[in-house]
């Protein structure tokens, strides 16, 4: 794609380097010769000519070096963008098997670190072949000067090249190890961020901190070894060429030759030209290409993952299945016209998720679904209900059998999937807006009243994973997206579980039965009361069709179905909506257009220059001020040693010149002493060069380790408000790209800045020794450079910050796409999301390209100023004739020419340092996060069994999510006696879940919550939360073993764990896994059904055996059997415990001791349900009556029965 352009740039690079190695040393030799004492063969006019050649040689860097580098950077950027686009497109094609091998952390690392290797790898790639050519030509030029003595120094130089290549390869191996370990750490961080609320309530921060610490420790081992190797390689640049020159001169003298200034500084000039490439760039280019190769292999490995076996578009046509699924989409238009009416047909179909699985997930399925029908699929947890929909969507690989699907498909997932956009965007999902259809969909999906209370109506941003909406709202938006799409076949995976009875009836009657009439509707449900309205019912068990037929047929066909209906037929009588997070909706400003994100959700960006406190804070993470001083001292000693060697060469040459011209009869040092002194200085240089590099990288590695540990601790300790306001992609950006820059990039850039700064002072010191007046133009140059840097930084700093901010949505997009892949493919929305991803890429690339162009422009003009500087120095020296020795001029020219390249590089790196320090700035923001309050350990209750009874008193309790907002809980006062079972009910936003939030004190509360006479507002949070168990609405499992998911602290024996699993009927499932309790759980618990995940959460509660248990709508997404199992287990295992249940189904709380009715944050009723039902005008009575006459009658009976039982006790 870019081959020809890349080759032409390589030719330009060769011309550039050849010009330097041929022209510059020759010109310097002639100039030094002109200033040598007694020379007569070079005239003043020739000297001016050679000075002009020096200027021309330096100009090649401006007009060849910078444009070619910019072109290479542009190519690298295009390659990076192309690879990122391929990775995202591949993600959308991954099969479910491949998804099991893929984590969000891996994808984030591929997009943040691996693709960025192109930025350096291709920029330096040409030096792999340009370097050797330059070395050969340079060797020849040295040979012309000193003959056979050349080969001693060159041999020493070449000896280090294979060592550098070896070290480069080792760094590549370490880079691969680092990438793998970074993948693991980022994956863990993603899980922690996604499940932080559950982690806090379980008090699992410490186990996860240990996991992250172990992962980081492995990562740091590779990074530390990589840094040490870089330190050794960097030290080579300091001493290799100087040592080679020493060997050359020593050999030259021992062969009986006399040294002269022109020969010495011609050789020095050649080595100085070759030095950057031989000692550093060549090695880095090999290392970078090796790293690119590793990254390409990692990307290729990902790109080779299994894809879905058919196109990811909606199915149209006939799909014969014989061991594999084939594309049956008609290619002939005539065939499309003859397409039959929509239908779904499965014949003797067997399917499984993993090839290595012994048992099929679905076994011998026969289904024939066509026409205007509602087909209900029911069955217990893990029976394969969702797998049936997945096989229709071609997500589940088929082993054998036939599948025929004709018609467009629309899909509503069991777990609502929303992306970070507006409500309207989530419903339309790329479709055109048809006002009438859109209005009808909002109506039948019961969203009109919700949109009326949202601050921006359907333009309200839902946040990542729909975090600004309640559970019921998310479910209805998810359903509305499915219904809005004009399809023939609607796959509805349990859409009615997350809504109350009234809304559920509306959804079923007006949406499923009404609006979708005339379509095929395949409905998975746990709401058995709707089965009478189904045209066909399929009962699944263990992946097989147990029975199917009409409601009447099944009712009369056998006892099993009748028993199933009798045991679990209880209508849904309570809404299942989590709190509306008012903190996300309190802004009052208008949104300007459909796609604008509210200002409060935008990422914070600093302005102006990076403050000095950022630098000092960064360095202080590495050690004390004494340690920092030691690092600086080692740099100074190394630079002083290098300058000492350079000056000593000039001193030696001048002394030899005096002897040869009879200007002295008594030299200060004998030649033997000079050689010993020279050798001593070289040894000293080598020691300090290696020492200062290794100590420096060790110092900054400590800083990196400590920074990670501090921000990780701060993030996990942060208040929940932080996680609600910051998408996971934004937080992950800190722990991936920004931390990667701190780990690996900033140490390199800062090293260059320090080295160049000391090089400048060293050169100034030497120039002052030779001629103090030369310090003046150098200081002017410094002033001009600094002024240019200040001007440049005003732009580049902001551009770099913008680049960092534009990077975050890319990670957010990949995370959201992974979570909703099945929905995306079911809607054929790959093109829409790919276009959105490309737009994010374009935004980021525009900022990145502007940054590259401005940086290169800065370098170009710095080079121009340097050329002007060297011109003024050379021509002034020629005009004023102030130099007495050729050695002095040689020293000045080599120092200043080296200084010119180094200064403009140093200025660019200084600027780059400030740009990259924005990563430190962004990360250090996380050192100032608002943390949860640290409470006095002395307030831990003295009774180790606390709470021993479970009596809970809410006293004047108020809760708000953000300062300045209204309270969501308002002056609550009630008492829950020990062992009481309390049902909490109320409408959307009533404050039900906020009570749980207050109980666990995820936000600061006003007032008191007193448990067993202890005010919990003073008890340390981790102790308090560890004494309360919760079964959350959204069950969360983490990657790792099943044992770690049940007992992360390793506090309980296997017998206790197996006993808990047995009580929730999961023992058989877990024992059949290859490693039992040690079997791996996929990321997010993807290898378990939602119901099974909920049962694992129940097992956790059984294991902890606390006196207080909270159920946050825990049975919302499970079938009636699992619901019954959970209720039965809770009544049995937690008989003596205090249980607070946020009710989803009213029948589950009708036997409670009391019902707490919430409305707008107030407690409006609190008594036994039977007592509440005696008030005909009461809130609870109204809720029961609106469930229907028959249901209300049954509920009243349940309440009365419970009341009498309690009274009899």
Alpha helices (runs of H) in 1064-1151, residue ranges in sequence order: 1067-1071, 1090-1104, 1120-1133
CATH class of 946-1027+1107-1209: alpha beta
pLDDT band at 679 (very low <50, low <70, confident <90, very high): very high
Residue 137 predicted with pLDDT over 90? yes
- Distance CA(842)–CA(806), nearest Å, equals 9
- Partners of 1031 in the β-ladder: 1111
Q: What is the pLDDT of residue 396?
A: 85
Confidence at residue 1169, expressed as pLDDT on a 0 to 100 scale: 92
Q: d(Cα 202, Cα 1032) in Å, to the nearest integer? A: 11
Measured between alpha carbons, how far is 538 from 385 in angstroms, rounded to an integer? 10
* pLDDT tops 80 at residue 872: yes
DSSP string for 1008-1041: EEEETTEETTSS-HHHHHHTEEEE-SS----SEE
682 pLDDT higher than 90: yes
Q: What percent of the chain has pLDDT over 70?
A: 90
As a dihedral over the C-alpha atoms of residue 397, residue 403, residue 404, residue 407, rounded to 10 degrees, the angle is: -30
What is the model's pLDDT at position 424? 92
pLDDT at position 560 over 80: no
pLDDT at 737: 82
Q: Which helix (H) or strand (E) holds 1054?
A: helix 1054-1063
pLDDT at 238 over 90: no
Question: What pLDDT does residue 1120 have?
Answer: 66
Residue 151 or residue 570, greater confidence: 151
Determine the average pLDDT of the residues in 909-926. 85
Q: Rounded mean pLDDT of 210-221? A: 89
Asked if residue 230 lies in contact with residue 171, where contact means CB atoms within 8 angstroms, the answer is yes
Residue 686 scores a pLDDT above 90: yes
Q: What pLDDT sits at residue 677?
A: 93
Judge contact between 788 and 796, C-beta under 8 A.
no
**pLDDT for position 672:** 85
pLDDT tens digits for range 821-830: 888 888 888 8
C-beta separation of 51 from 875 below 8 A: yes
The answer to whether the beta carbons of residues 950 and 1110 sit under 8 Å apart is no
| pLDDT higher than 60, residue 573 | no
3-state SS assignment for residue 838: helix
Which of 1165, 1180, 418 minimizes the C-alpha distance to 823?
418
Structural tokens at position 666: 């008594």
Statement: residue 277 has pLDDT above 80:
yes
Q: In this predicted model, what pLDDT tens digit does every residue of 936-964 receive, in sequence order? A: 888 888 888 898 999 999 999 999 887 77
797 CB burial (10 A radius; 0-12, 13-18, 19+): buried
| Fold category of 3-306+624-911 in CATH | ABC transporter transmembrane region fold (1.20.1560)
565 with 555: CB under 8 angstroms?
A: yes
Is the model's pLDDT at 312 over the cut of 80? Answer: no
For residues 893-912, give the mean pLDDT. Answer: 76
- What are the beta bridge partners of residue 1207? none
Compute the distance between CA of residue 250 and CA of residue 265 in angstroms, rounded to an integer: 15
pLDDT at 372 over 60: yes
What's the pLDDT score for residue 1067? 87
Report whether pLDDT(587) > 90: no
pLDDT digits (tens, 9 = 90+) for 785-820: 888 888 887 887 788 778 878 887 888 888 888 888
pLDDT at 451: 85
DSSP class of 718: B
Q: Do domains 946-1027+1107-1209 and 1034-1105 have the same CATH topology?
A: yes
Q: Name the residue with tokens 């021309």.
A: 56
Q: Would you state the pLDDT for residue 1124?
A: 74
Of 480, 361, 345, residue with least CA distance to 418? 480
Gap between the Cα atoms of 533 and 162, Å rounded: 79
The CATH class of the 1034-1105 domain is: alpha beta
The ranges assigned to domains in the chain are 3-306+624-911, 316-371+385-407+544-570, 946-1027+1107-1209, 1034-1105
Q: What is the pLDDT of residues 697-754, one digit of tens each?
A: 999 999 999 999 999 999 989 988 888 888 777 888 888 888 988 988 899 899 989 9
Which residue, 514, 508, 552, is CA-closest to 530? 508
Reported as a pLDDT band with limits 50, 70 and 90, residue 1193 is confident
- Residue 1128 or 1108, more confident: 1108
Query: Which of the pair, 973 or 588, is modelled with greater confidence?
Result: 973
Judge contact between 299 and 82, C-beta under 8 A: no
Q: Do 552 and 537 contact (CB within 8 A), yes or no?
A: no
Residue 149 has, within 13 A of its CA and on its CB side, a CA count of 23
Share of the chain above pLDDT 90, in %: 20
Q: How far apart are CA 1121 and CA 385, in angstroms?
A: 14
| pLDDT higher than threshold 50 for residue 1044 | yes
Mean pLDDT score across all residues of the chain: 82
pLDDT (0 to 100) of residue 284: 77
Between CA 860 and CA 872, with CA 15 as vertex, the angle to 5 degrees is 45
d(CA 79, CA 249): 47
DSSP state of 1075: T
SS3 771: coil
748: enclosing H helix or E strand? helix 746-770
Give the mean pLDDT of 71-96: 90
For residue 327, pLDDT over 70 is answered with no
Name the residue with higher pLDDT: 499 or 980: 980
């Amino acid at each position: 794609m870019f081959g020809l352009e890349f080759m032409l740039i390589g030719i330009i690079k060769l011309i550039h380097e050849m010009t330097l190695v041929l022209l510059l040393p020759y010109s310097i030799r002639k100039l030094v010769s002109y200033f040598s004492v007694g020379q007569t063969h070079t005239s003043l006019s020739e000297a001016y000519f050679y000075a002009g050649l020096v200027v021309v040689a330096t100009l090649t860097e401006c007009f060849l070096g910078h444009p070619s580098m910019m072109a290479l950077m542009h190519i690298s950027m295009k390659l990076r963008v192309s690879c990122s686009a391929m990775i995202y497109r591949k993600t959308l094609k991954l099969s479910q098997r491949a998804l099991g091998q893929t984590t969000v952390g891996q994808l984030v690392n591929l997009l943040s670190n691996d693709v960025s290797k192109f930025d350096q790898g291709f920029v330096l790639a040409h030096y792999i072949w340009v370097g050797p050519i330059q070395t050969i030509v340079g060797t020849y030029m040295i040979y012309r000067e000193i003959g056979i003595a050349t080969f001693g120094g060159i041999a020493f130089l070449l000896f280090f090249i294979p060592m550098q290549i070896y070290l480069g390869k080792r760094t590549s191996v370490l880079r691969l190890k680092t990438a793998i370990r970074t993948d693991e750490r980022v994956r863990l961080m993603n899980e922690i961020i996604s499940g932080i609320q559950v982690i806090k309530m379980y008090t699992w921060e410490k186990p996860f901190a240990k996991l992250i610490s172990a992962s980081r420790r492995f990562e740091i081992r590779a990074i530390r070894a990589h840094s040490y190797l870089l330190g050794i390689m960097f030290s080579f640049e300091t001493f290799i060429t100087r040592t080679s020159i020493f060997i050359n001169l020593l050999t030259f003298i021992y062969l009986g030759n006399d040294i002269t200034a022109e020969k010495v500084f011609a050789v020095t000039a050649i080595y100085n030209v070759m030095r950057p490439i031989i000692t550093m760039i060549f090695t880095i280019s090999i290392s970078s290409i090796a790293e690119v190769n590793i990254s390409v292999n990692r990307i290729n490995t990902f790109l080779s993952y299994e894809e879905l076996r058919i196109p990811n578009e909606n199915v149209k046509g006939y799909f014969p299945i014989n061991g594999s699924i084939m594309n049956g989409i008609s290619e002939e238009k005539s065939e499309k016209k003859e397409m039959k009416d929509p239908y779904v047909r499965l014949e003797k179909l067997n399917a499984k998720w993993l090839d290595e699985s012994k048992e099929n997930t679905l076994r011998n399925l026969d289904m024939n679904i066509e026409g205007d029908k509602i087909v209900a699929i029911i069955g217990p947890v893990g029976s394969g209900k969702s797998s049936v929909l997945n096989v229709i969507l071609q997500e589940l690989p088929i082993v054998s059998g036939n599948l025929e699907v004709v018609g467009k498909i629309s899909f509503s997932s069991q777990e609502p999937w929303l992306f970070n956009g507006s409500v309207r965007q989530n419903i339309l999902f790329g479709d055109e807006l048809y006002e009438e259809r859109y209005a009808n969909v909002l109506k039948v999906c019961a969203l009109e009243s919700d949109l009326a209370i949202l601050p921006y109506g359907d333009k309200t941003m839902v946040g990542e994973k729909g975090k600004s909406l309640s559970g019921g709202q998310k479910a209805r938006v998810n359903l509305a997206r499915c219904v809005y799409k004009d399809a023939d076949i609607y796959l509805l995976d349990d859409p009615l579980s997350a809504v109350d009875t009234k809304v559920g009836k509306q959804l079923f009657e007006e949406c499923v039965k009404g609006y979708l009439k005339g379509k095929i509707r395949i409905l998975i449900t746990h709401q058995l009361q709707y089965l009478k309205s189904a045209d066909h019912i399929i009962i699944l068990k263990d992946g097989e069709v147990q029975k199917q037929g009409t409601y009447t047929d099944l009712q009369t066909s056998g006892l099993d179905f009748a028993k199933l209906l009798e045991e679990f037929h209880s209508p849904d009588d309570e809404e299942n909506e989590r709190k509306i997070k008012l903190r996300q909706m309190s802004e009052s400003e208008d949104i300007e257009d459909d796609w604008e994100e509210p200002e409060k959700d935008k990422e914070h960006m600093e302005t102006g220059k990076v403050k000095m406190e950022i630098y000092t804070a960064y360095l202080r993470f590495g050690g004390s001020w004494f340690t920092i001083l030691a690092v600086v001292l080692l740099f100074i000693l190394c630079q002083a040693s290098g300058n000492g060697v350079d000056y000593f060469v000039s001193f030696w040459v001048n002394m030899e010149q005096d002897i040869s011209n009879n200007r002295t009869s008594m030299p200060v040092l004998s030649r033997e002493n000079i050689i010993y002194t020279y050798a001593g200085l070289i040894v000293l240089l080598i020691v300090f060069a290696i020492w200062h590099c290794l100590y420096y990288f060790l110092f900054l590695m400590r800083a990196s380790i400590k920074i990670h540990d501090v921000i990780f601790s701060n993030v996990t300790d942060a208040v929940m408000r932080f996680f609600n306001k910051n998408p996971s992609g934004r937080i992950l950006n800190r722990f991936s790209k920004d931390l990667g820059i701190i780990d690996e990039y900033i140490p390199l850039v800062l090293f260059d800045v320090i080295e160049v700064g000391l090089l400048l002072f060293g050169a100034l010191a030497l120039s002052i020794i030779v001629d103090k007046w030369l310090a003046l133009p150098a200081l002017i140059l410094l002033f001009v450079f600094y002024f240019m840097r200040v001007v440049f930084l005003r732009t580049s700093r902001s551009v770099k910050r913008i680049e960092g901010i534009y990077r975050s949505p890319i990670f957010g997009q990949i995370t959201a796409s992974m979570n909703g892949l099945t929905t995306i493919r079911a809607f054929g929305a790959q093109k829409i999301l790919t276009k959105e991803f490309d737009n994010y890429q374009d935004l980021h690339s525009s900022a990145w390209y502007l940054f590259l162009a401005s940086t290169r422009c800065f370098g170009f003009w710095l080079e121009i100023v340097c050329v002007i500087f060297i011109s003024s120095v050379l021509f002034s020296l020629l005009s004023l004739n102030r130099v007495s020795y050729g050695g002095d001029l040689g020293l000045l020219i080599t120092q200043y020419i080296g200084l010119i390249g180094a200064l403009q590089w140093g200025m660019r790196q200084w600027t780059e340092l400030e740009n990259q320090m924005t990563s430190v700035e962004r990360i250090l923001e996380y050192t100032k996060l608002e943390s949860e309050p640290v409470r006095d350990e002395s307030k831990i209750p003295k009774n180790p069994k606390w709470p021993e009874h479970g009596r809970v008193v809410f006293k004047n309790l108020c809760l708000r999510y953000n300062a300045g907002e209204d309270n969501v809980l308002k002056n609550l006062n009630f008492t829950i006696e020990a062992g009481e079972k309390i049902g909490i009910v109320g409408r959307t936003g009533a404050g039900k879940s906020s009570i749980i939030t207050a109980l666990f004190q995820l936000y600061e509360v006003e007032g008191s919550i007193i448990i067993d006479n202890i005010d919990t507002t003073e008890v340390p949070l981790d102790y308090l939360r560890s004494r309360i168990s919760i079964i959350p609405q959204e069950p969360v499992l983490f990657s790792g073993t099943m044992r770690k998911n049940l007992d992360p602290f390793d506090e309980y024996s296997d017998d206790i764990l197996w006993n808990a699993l047995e009580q929730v009927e999961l023992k058989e499932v877990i024992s059949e896994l290859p490693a039992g309790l040690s079997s791996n759980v996929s990321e997010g618990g993807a290898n378990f059904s939602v119901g099974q995940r909920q049962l694992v959460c129940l097992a956790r509660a059984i294991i902890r055996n606390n006196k207080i248990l909270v159920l946050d709508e825990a049975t919302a997404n499970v079938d009636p059997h699992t619901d019954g199992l959970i209720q039965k287990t809770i009544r049995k295992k937690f008989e003596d415990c205090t249980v607070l249940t946020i009710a989803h189904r009213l029948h589950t709380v009708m036997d409670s001791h009391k019902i707490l009715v919430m409305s707008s944050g107030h407690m409006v009723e609190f008594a036994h349900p039977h007592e509440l039902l005696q008030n005909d005008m009461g809130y609870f009575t109204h809720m029961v009556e609106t469930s229907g006459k028959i249901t209300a009658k049954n509920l009243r009976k349940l309440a009365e029965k419970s009341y009498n039982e309690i009274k009899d006790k």
